[in-house]
Amino acid sequence: ILSRELERTSKIFEISVERQSTLNSTYTIASAFLTYLDPYTYRF
């Protein structure tokens, strides 16, 4: 029973690591986009 629980927990951990790296890249792209748009939101 414990070996199956270890396998299940290991799979959950691997998936969470993949999701975290995906979120980091998504946040990076979003912040770059907002930084690019920021100067163009003001009227000249």
Tokens of 33: 């986009």
Amino acid at 28: T
Q: Is the pTM of this model over 0.85?
A: no
The model's pLDDT over 1-44, given as tens digits with 9 standing for 90+, comes to 778 888 998 888 888 877 777 788 888 888 888 888 766 656 65
Which DSSP category does 42 fall into? S
pLDDT at residue number 34: 82
